[in-house]
Amino acid sequence: MRCPKCLLCLSALLTLLGLKVYIEWASESKLNKAYPGPRGTPPGPTRASPEPTLPINLSARLGQTSPLPSASWNQQQWRLGALPTGLESTEAGGCRSWGASAAAEIPDFASYPGNLRRFLLSAACRSFPQWLPPGGGGRVSSCSETHVPYLLLAIKSEPGHFAQRQAVRETWGGPTPGIRLLFLLGSPEGVGGPDLGSLVAWESRRHSDLLLWDFIDVPFNRTLKDLMLMAWLGRHCPGVSFILQASDDAFVHTAALLGHLRALPPSRARGLYLGEVFTQAKPLRKPGGPFYVPTSFFEGGYPAYASGGGYVISGSLAPWLLQAAARVVPFPFDDVYTGLCFQALGLLPRTHRGFLTTWPADRSPDPCALRDLLLVRPLGPQDSIRLWKRLLDPELRC
């Protein structure tokens, strides 16, 4: 009687094993359909859960499926567990040795533009001290429990953009209940340019709204400003509801933006990533341009992302973005990299017609045309001041 029972048990085990294999195969098939490889046409945004997730293996979610391209970024992302921490340049696995190792795998690395080579060699270095004015003062205060901003205006600027920052302070970034203004900058002690340390120190002590870090302020380091801001928020202002990240040449209709955010249902507000969204962008392959991407570095299409000229995210996503950034291979363009990090979290950007980040240079800013918009760029400091005054004019008729 024992043999028939053994056969029966064995048959049941084989059936369960076959069922398990089928379920795993079906799940993998659905996953590949949902996240096709980079050789295909990238799908447009679809409805996603407002709650972030971060799977152990990000390859499929970031489009890194078989057949895997030979480009450096794609290969690195496939193998990446987590980026190194700290600024160690000699220890194995340190951020600079990680960059040197990654660069050594690119056969035509020597032909890359100098700014791209410098970025790639130090791209994993993301821990920098704050730059503080000599002699004290200028330190940015933390958010107190009773004065947590509803909306943080985090404006990416450069040390020499004094006029742009002052225009923001005098217009849409001025004191408003529920809003706090901060400017994000690298070191004013530039390499190959004028030393603006004393001027920036005076500005910092006067306004106390400059978050400065000790890294070179160049376009490819704009991503550092995002990451350092998220880390600062976790320590000094974790309760902020929303964060507007924008360039200092943007013009924001703050009242309209506040009205839009306060009208959002909680389910949409939790995972918000809002702006002017690009869904089918691809790398530019023409050498010499500011957005040139060699084929040996990255292959495939970009994720859906909001223009870096200005977008809004939920404050609760700051720690999630830091976790995602530790596991997404660095990319030289800040808005594309933000899109990659949101893709890693399973969140999609939401587009809003009120974000216009390519305002024509030959078109004067008309207050009636801009009254219903939320953000416009680029505008010069004087244009922003004139536009703000006209928008506040009680006699304005449209």
**What integer pLDDT is reported at residue 61 of this predicted model?**
94
Give tens-digit pLDDT for 242-258: 999 999 999 999 999 99
C-alpha distances out from residue 50 to 47, 199, 219, 233, 245, Å: 9, 43, 31, 21, 20
**Phi, psi dihedral angles at 233 (to 5 degrees):** -60, -40
- The pTM score is 0.85
Task: Kindly state the average pLDDT of the residues 364-368.
Answer: 83
Nearest to 323 by CA among 78, 47, 85: 85
d(CA 47, CA 69): 28
CA atoms 229, 232, 233, 237: torsion sign: negative
Report the distance separating Cα 157 and Cα 159, nearest Å: 7
Dihedral Cα 92, 96, 98, 102, nearest 10 deg: -140
Radius of gyration of the chain (CA): 24
What is the percentage of the chain residues whose pLDDT exceeds 70?
A: 84
Residues with Cβ < 8 Å from 284, sequence gap 6 or more?
A: 291, 292, 293
Residue 13: pLDDT above 60?
no
Token duo for residue 190: 């530039």
Domains of the chain, CATH where assigned: 84-122 (no CATH), 151-391 (3.90.550.50)
What's the mean per-residue pLDDT of the chain? 86
| Dist CA 360 CA 198 (whole Å) | 36
- On the question of pLDDT at 231 being above 60, the answer is yes
How far is it, in rounded angstroms, from Cα 53 to Cα 14?
34
- Residue closest to 318 by CA, chosen among 235, 213, 374, 252: 235
Alpha carbon distance 179, 257 (integer Å): 11
Arithmetic mean of pLDDT, 97-105: 95
Q: Are strands 242-247 and 251-252 parallel, antiparallel or unpaired?
A: unpaired
Q: What is the pLDDT of residue 87?
A: 54
* Per-residue model confidence as pLDDT tens digits over 274-327: 999 999 999 999 999 999 999 999 999 999 999 999 999 999 999 999 999 999
Say if residue 77's pLDDT is above 70. yes
Does residue 16 surpass a pLDDT of 70? no
Going by pLDDT thresholds of 50, 70 and 90, the confidence category of residue 116 is: very high
